[in-house]
Amino acid sequence: MKQKVALVLGSGGARGLAHIGVIEELEARGYEISSVAGTSMGAMVGGFYAAGVLEPFAKRMCKLTMRDLWHYMDLTISSRGFVKGDRIFKTIHEEFTHDVNIEDLDIPFTAVATDLVSHQLEVFDKGSLFTAVRASISVPDVFTPVEVGKKRLVDGAVISPIPIPYVKRQKDDILVVVNLSGDDKSYEEQSKKMLRKSGKEIKKKEEEKQTLHQKLAQFFTFQMPGIKFDYLETMGKTIELMQREIAALTIRNHQPDIVIDIPFQLATPWEFERSAEIRAAGREIAVSALDAWEEKRLIKSAG
């Protein structure tokens, strides 16, 4: 009989691509994912998994370039967010979510978002999968909020970066949490090594990245005497710190059976062009975490 898993996927931008590798390793070992809950990229990956379209999504992401990212970033001058996201969300709807409702998925799925009006968490466990994913990944001040009635919904990570209380866990399920705010300084150097490829390829990637950054910097940098502020970098680090603290507290309070810690040093929230590397790292980290838990369980059963 397969061991069933209630899977919780945390927030962390591009690091969320590591969720794909974790799911691949769980399935390769014969675990059955019986329910999934996610925030932000965790909601996207978890929702696509529950809808049976994770593999096409993973293949699409592996082909993503910095040029593609710039194409999808339809900028808008607005107090509600500087990326409308129309191109991104049109692709998500047409290729992955379609008009599927959450209650019609093969396994129970839950996504969370934050309502800026009520200051409460909005829990999606029924209704439009597209709306749930769209709301959950809407990073404040980046994507424009999702309007649902009187609600203005943004990224669920503002309140719940790891939505453990909302996964539909059954009695004999083990609780597996993927935390994208882990801490392992050795990954700073490993992350750099991942990028040390052939000279032409790395030069091209760096040029594309600089071009994207320069275009964004026209809108999102400001200066004080002797100091230059990068809005995107400052905002990213602020969100990272906030999520790390909330995630650590949530894990302590709920004591999952297995915690798979993806180091925040692995990638920045915006490095989606490193999809294949991040996915592979997620699987590698999952191998270590699952090996440790299985060994502990074996020793316990033998004793």
Q: Which residues are catalytic?
A: 40, 155
Residues 6+ apart with CB under 8 A from 93: 130
For residue 104, give Cα distances in angstroms to 11, 128, 129: 24, 10, 10
How many residues would you count in the chain? 303
The span from the first CA to the last CA of the chain, in angstroms, equals 22
Tokens 């669920």 locate to: 156
Helix (H/G/I), strand (E/B), else coil: 286: helix
Q: Which of 41, 30, 31, 27 is nearest to 5 (CA)?
A: 31
123 alpha-carbon distance from chain centroid: 17
* Cβ neighbour number for residue 182 with a 10 Å cutoff: 22
